[in-house]
Structure 1
């Protein structure tokens, strides 16, 4: 009698939407001039997301079970890091920002499309690594961008790892 009550069916998880939200902040102009010049960064981020979340697509499920879940993943924002020295006559003002990426996901019931939980995670480059990169000849003379797509992929992996840990605790 209690066997059917105690048996808990594990939910199946399917991949819904993977997207990179277009940037609208002012720093996107600096990134296009510096780190991402002549590069589209949305496609490599999306490709990396597909590799991380290699789940069967939710669109191919014709008859979802009661416990089936869908997962939408969005890269909400990203930025490269940079350092500028704004000089106002005799006074200098340092302006800097670290590479950062924010990823969010929505876990929802596949049958009803109702949201079960949402999560987000932000990953920033550690201060020590950021400062050490700013002290290289590459950063001082700016003959190449200080931060590249591989740096952003590492941050993306870190943020997605945090998301997966949060999801695992819920499921």
Structure 2
């Protein structure tokens, strides 16, 4: 698993708006819907800096992991998704592990994530990466979600 830092040019490429030099291959059907890609592009621009990464395995982009926001405690709130054609192969688990290393190297104090109550494999991805569910809250857009956190000392 290699995390390739995404620029706006990568989002444009995924949306079919332009090409990118040395772009990885894409699975049939792509890695996310246009709506999701547009949303992630906007969030990455808002967060600024390195905020989204392509999950690349053997020259193929299989998903995206990203920072949704950075909080006042020095934690990064993250999200991730894997192409439907590539789910169930451990890619999300490996990507979150790699993002933990990047976060530590950039001085983050931990990561947070939210999962829908019926979110399939996501709770396992987070548990395998040391996250603990600290409760639930009513998200304004998604309804009830579980809140997850993993923290470390500097």
Same fold (TM over 0.5): no
TM-score using structure 2 length: 0.26
- Choose between structure 1 and 2 for higher RCO, CA contacts under 8 A separated by at least 6 residues: 1
TM-score, normalised via structure 1 length: 0.24
Greater helix share, structure number: 1
Rg: which structure is higher?
A: 1
